[in-house]
Amino acid sequence: MTAELGHFALILAFAISIVQVIVPMIGAEKGWSDWMRFGTPAAIAQFALVGFAFAMLTIAFVTSDFSVWLVAVNSHSAKPMLYKVSGVWANHEGSMLLWITILTLFGATVAVWGGNLPPSLKARVLSVQSMIGAAFLAFILFTSNPFLRLAQPPFDGQGLNPLLQDPGLAFHPPFLYLGYVGLSMAFSFAVAALIEGKVDAAWARWVRPWTLAAWIFLTIGIGLGSWWAYYELGWGGWWFWDPVENASFMPWLMATALLHSAIVVEKRNALKSWTVLLAILAFSFSLIGTFIVRSGVITSVHAFANDPDRGVFILAILAVAIGGGLTLYAMRATQLRTHAVFALVSRESGLVLNNLLLSVAAAVVFVGTIWPLVAELVTGAKVSVGAPFFNIAFTPFMVILAMTLPIASVLPWKRSNLTRTMQPLWGIAALSVALGSAVWVMQTGGRMLAPVGLTLAFWVVIGAVADMAVRVKIGKAPISESLRRAGNLPRADWGKMFAHAGFGLAIFGISAIMAWEVEDIRTAAIGDSFPLQSYELRFDAVEGIRGPNYTAVRGEFTLLKNGVEVAVLHPEKRNYPVQSTPTTEAASDQSLLRDVYVVLGDQQSDGSWAVRSYVKPFTNWIWIGVAMLAFGGILSITDRRYRVAAAARKTRMTAVPAE
Amino acid sequence: MLKYLLVILMLATPVMAVEPDEILSDPVMETRARVISKVLRCLVCRNENIDDSNADLARDLRLLVRERLVAGDTDQEVEDFIVDRYGEYVLLKPVFSLGNALLWFAGPLLLLVGGWISLLFIRRRSDATPQTDDLDDDEQSRLDALLKG
């Protein structure tokens, strides 16, 4: 019954979504308040129904109901519970259901917490949000029904790709989707504002929390994905510039730009038209990302041709949403005039530069991602665009961004004096360059990557911290005074510091691993010892083991430094009999300074084993940086100005019955 | 039983990326081989270079690269040799050519155009009718008078 109930709930949600598109929009146009109010219960009901459908599918997976086709194809009774649950979204149909569940969740949050929005804006936002909902519900119901039954259920399921059976990946898609789809909120707000013809500081204040939330989720999602790739995919690569990765990275870059430009709208009532355009573009990239991942068009034109219905359907949604949004923008943007005045050297200009760099960087990733497709369609030439291209074409923008960030982020609003702003920064700049030079002198081999990367990382991190140190007068006032000042600074400012420092730390980790990784590939017999950088690795044993749904050969290695044992490492080669797919489970000893990473290869004809080992310096700082970015976002979203708005709403809500 | 499984397991396992037996004895030449391998695509894989790939074809290509290097080819000659055989598709970094001009120049071009538009925008903002945030001379003298008084 569960599958049928879920299916029925989806159909009902689809019907509601269509009504929710029409009624609040007409209400807002005509000024009928009861029609406008319809959006609120409709959005909540939509979420309840879709959430119910999602719960039904989850039950089918958890109970291994193999009469449901999706479960039979993607699950197996012997799978650990965590992966039965994550199996729900580890396939096309289920992941689209998760997508729409999150979409309606965001719609419901506006319905519930949007009490302080002007009624007409709220009605229009919910109507636009429901347009996206209706489109994707139709997509699921007509092309990707997750609830199909099998007339003859199999005895057991076909299992889940072993690579996907990993805690990092179990939570990666939900976070990514929360981010992708969260940007729909910015889109709906932008389109609603264009229809209203009004964008002001208040609008920016409403949009920012949702954009921030989406950005935080996207940051965590991308970080989890990269972390998973690092320890699961074999050789410790953490970013491959794969089309699927780029699909999530482009919306992230745009969302980052949007976050910053929304600040200008909020504080200075400028950049309004650009911010609206960014909001539309950011969600457009989310849709393009969904299209890339779900249609398979980039990885292979054939995947698209095998299943053209889905691809064409998403392409149609894409065309209507992006085309419609941009057309509306072209018609209405001129109404969003700015009267704010600011000079060439000002915080506003700094944020314009930030937006320019981030959106051009996103455009470069976009062009690189679709280039193979475009080239094949236009000239018939088959070309590849991979990591070597992106490293060259993308990195310069991040270098300029890192160079300008500490200066631009402390410039005063409206008009400022570059000489005066730079005064406290010269020392930090000199220190950073000195550090970079020291690294250059100390390292053997002449690559510039590490010195430049470290100079930038130091500059960004210390710049961010020094800004706060100056503001709380550390060293210039008594400690108690500094603490008091620190407590009084808005949380958003602390968020800014953490996020910017996180960006710097990520640069540090990335430069270090790219410049200083040490690799060793050899054959080793049991009992052999061999040197690895300043360590010694001893190959102790190999044994066969059996896991819950796999078998494996497991090696045992002892890591020694100056004859003293540092760690024992157990790399595995697993085989999942249901899919007969082998995977390598690298073993690593991690610390803040370096990861030692060992992979067990094949047994050679002479009985020895192929062994790959690495020393990866400072790698964990990449994810510490990412975590700090997300933490900065969380601090910022809990800033007083949003909490005050929430409190004001509460008082108003309690005041209602007294009327 | 476990032993039996072990045997099956080994048979089912594909070769690893860069096997120990592939490595050239000359470390300089080996380093060159690794660098070249990183820009060549494993043709049967999804966005993987031959250096990282487990596929048999990638191994063949790695051996071919090393063979050419040992035969005395320069890095460029090795790449050209592989491209001649497998087409431009094998290069993960597309060549600078007229056909790829838009790909390579998209970034710099957009930065220039975007930067120019931004500058125009900011110039217009700074030239715009100043709002009454600042005091004019008359207001300033009145304020001075008030402060003194």
The complex's ipTM works out to 0.85
Note whether A66 and A536 are within 8 A (CB).
no
Gap between the Cα atoms of A132 and A110, Å rounded = 15
Note whether B57 and A250 are within 8 A (CB).
no
Q: Tell me the mean pLDDT in the region A269-281.
A: 92
Gap between the Cα atoms of A509 and B136, Å rounded = 52
Gap between the Cα atoms of A623 and A619, Å rounded = 8
Gap between the Cα atoms of A560 and A535, Å rounded = 6
The residues spanned by each domain of chain B are: 2-90, 98-126
The residues spanned by each domain of chain A are: 1-164, 166-385, 395-516, 518-620
Q: What is the amino acid identity at position B28? A: V
Gap between the Cα atoms of A656 and A83, Å rounded = 47
Interface mutation vs chain A, best among B2, B3, B9, most A CBs within 10 Å: B9
Per-residue pLDDT at B12 exceeds 50: no
pTM, rounded to two decimals? 0.90
Q: What is the DSSP track for A64-130?
A: T-TTBHHHHHH--TTS-HHHHHHTTTSSHHHHHHHHHHHHHHHHHHHHHHGGGS-HHHHHHHHHHHH
Q: Give A220's contacts (C-beta < 8 A, 6+ positions apart).
A: A175, A179, A626, A630
Q: What is the amino acid identity at position A81? A: M
Lowest mean pLDDT among A207-221, A290-304, A348-362: A290-304
- Greater pLDDT, A198 or A135: A135
Cβ within 8 Å, pair B21-A523: yes
Closest CA to A547 of A230, A166, A61: A166
Closest CA to A508 of A426, A428, A415, A626: A626
Closest CA to A126 of A143, A139, A114: A114
Gap between the Cα atoms of A532 and A65, Å rounded = 50
Rounded mean pLDDT of chain A? Answer: 88
Q: Where are the alpha helices (DSSP H) in A197-271?
A: 201-232, 243-268
Among chain A residues, the shortest Cα distance to B129 is held by A341
DSSP H or E stretch at residue A17: helix A2-30
Topology (CATH level 3) of domain B2-90: Helicase, Ruva Protein; domain 3 (1.10.8)
Cβ within 8 Å, pair B93-A601: no
- Greater pLDDT, A302 or A501: A501
Buried b (16+ CB within 10 A) or exposed e, A86-119: bbbbbbbbbbbbbbbbbbbbbbbbbbeebbbbbb
Interface mutation vs chain B, best among A360, A377, A395, A578, most B CBs within 10 Å: A360
What is the number of helices (H) and of strands (E) in chain B?
6, 0
Q: What pLDDT does residue B133 have? A: 55
Instruction: Indicate the residue of B16, B38, B47 with minimum beta-carbon distance to A242.
Output: B47
Q: Give the largest CA-CA distance in chain B.
A: 102
Topology (CATH level 3) of domain A166-385: Four Helix Bundle (Hemerythrin (Met), subunit A) (1.20.120)
DSSP H or E stretch at residue A183: helix A167-196
Specify the residue for token string 């072990």. Answer: B6
Lowest mean pLDDT among A443-447, B31-35, B127-131: B127-131
Per-residue pLDDT at A443 exceeds 90: no
Angle between helices A640-655 and A201-232 (to 10 degrees): 120
Note whether A629 and A502 are within 8 A (CB).
yes
Gap between the Cα atoms of B146 and B142, Å rounded = 6
CATH 3.30.70 is right for the domain spanning A1-164:
no
Beta bridge partners of A609: A524, A603
The answer to whether domain A1-164 and domain A166-385 are alike in fold is: yes
pLDDT in tens, A315-331: 899 999 999 999 999 99
pLDDT in tens, A563-576: 899 999 999 988 88
Interface A:B, Cβ pairs < 8 A = 168
Per-residue pLDDT at A35 exceeds 80: yes
Contacts of B87 in chain A (CB under 8 A): 382
Gap between the Cα atoms of A533 and A613, Å rounded = 10
Contacts of B49 in chain A (CB under 8 A): 386-387
Conformation bin of residue A595: beta by default, left when phi > 0, alpha when psi is -120 to 50: beta
Answer whether A282 touches B (CB < 8 Å).
no
Cβ within 8 Å, pair A521-B100: no
pLDDT in tens, A582-641: 778 888 899 999 999 999 888 888 889 989 899 999 999 999 999 999 999 999 999 877
Gap between the Cα atoms of A418 and B79, Å rounded = 49
